[in-house]
Amino acid sequence: MPDAKELAAERSSGPSGSGEGQLERDSLPYSKDTEGGRPTRKWAMTIDLDRCTGCHACETACAAENNIPVVGEQQAHQGRLHQWIRVERYWEGSYPNVKARFMPIPCQHCDNAPCEPVCPVYATYHNPEGLNAMAYNRCVGTRYCGNNCPYDVRMFNWFEHSWDEPLNQHLNPDVTVREKGVMEKCTFCVQRIRRAEEKSDAEGRELEPDEFTTACAQACPPKAITFGNVKDDRWSVSKLWNDPRRFRLLEELGTSPAVVYLKTVED
């Protein structure tokens, strides 16, 4: 987009940007030295599969935090289940020696996201903080992004959802209630990021390491999910980011996800 380029040029000429390293910065979608004068951030998540017990608490917390509708059994059967994070279950071995393995799968927030270039209206794009952003009010519902996502984490709103009487009071006011005809997906709890930024801005300081976390990470009983800024070494996620057990989901596709899984340790 020409607008974004102009803007980047404006920014680099300002007091916050430096002239050198311009080419390198522009070649990567998120890794500008500064975004609006702020230190660089890249939001990322690590999921320790050794710790995950498959309790589905992350799904529940996510549904409560992000106003995710309950579509019911019939719609779920038709593949229209709404879950921004899902726990996949795999059985290993045969009857006497069966092992269950679990894998929570949120949106991977890929750096080379396959969903982004196919959107005809730029409703989904990569923001400077490394988030795969989704602007609901821009979405026209072509569902190309959902079809192009190798992780199958994008949900389409086929109907206008409603919440029964006491439940409509639990909706989170910081999150849009998505209307019919738009795509939605995990946002890495961007509303919490913004809340934390507002708080730190008001107090005139930078974000503290591990100051906040996503709803799924907060609810995880064995602390399998860690969320944070990997560009800052003080965050606990950046200590786990280069763990020797690390792997990324479908890494051979070259999507470069921002979610790192840590392998189960075998006895």
**Using CB under 8 A as the criterion, which residues of the chain lie in contact with another protein when the complex forms?**
7, 11, 14-16, 35-38, 125, 127-129, 131, 133, 135-138, 160, 174-177, 179-180, 187, 190-191, 194, 198, 201-202
User: Please, what is the minimum distance in Å from the beta carbon of residue 136 to another protein?
Assistant: 5
* Residue placing its CB nearer to another protein in the complex, 190 or 259: 190
User: Please, what is the minimum distance in Å from the beta carbon of residue 202 to another protein?
Assistant: 6
**First CA to last CA distance, the chain:** 52
Sequence-distant (≥ 6) Cβ neighbours of residue 149 within 8 angstroms: 114, 115
User: Please, what is the minimum distance in Å from the beta carbon of residue 62 to another protein?
Assistant: 14
How far is the CA of 35 from the CAs of 2, 71, 116, 190, 245, in angstroms? Answer: 18, 39, 21, 16, 32
* Residue placing its CB nearer to another protein in the complex, 151 or 188: 188
Sequence-distant (≥ 6) Cβ neighbours of residue 212 within 8 angstroms: 192, 193, 195, 196
Q: Is 54 left (phi over 0), alpha (psi -120 to 50) or beta?
A: left
- The residue among 101, 103, 119 whose CA lies nearest residue 185 is 119
CB atoms within 10 A of CB 33: 15
User: Please, what is the minimum distance in Å from the beta carbon of residue 236 to another protein?
Assistant: 24
* Residue placing its CB nearer to another protein in the complex, 41 or 86: 41
How far is the C-alpha of 257 from the C-alpha of 260, rounded, in Å?
A: 7
* Residue placing its CB nearer to another protein in the complex, 100 or 171: 171
User: Please, what is the minimum distance in Å from the beta carbon of residue 152 to another protein?
Assistant: 22
At 241, phi and psi to the nearest 5? -60, -40
How far is the C-alpha of 104 from the C-alpha of 46, rounded, in Å?
A: 11
User: Please, what is the minimum distance in Å from the beta carbon of residue 141 to another protein?
Assistant: 12
* Residue placing its CB nearer to another protein in the complex, 22 or 236: 22
* Residue placing its CB nearer to another protein in the complex, 83 or 187: 187
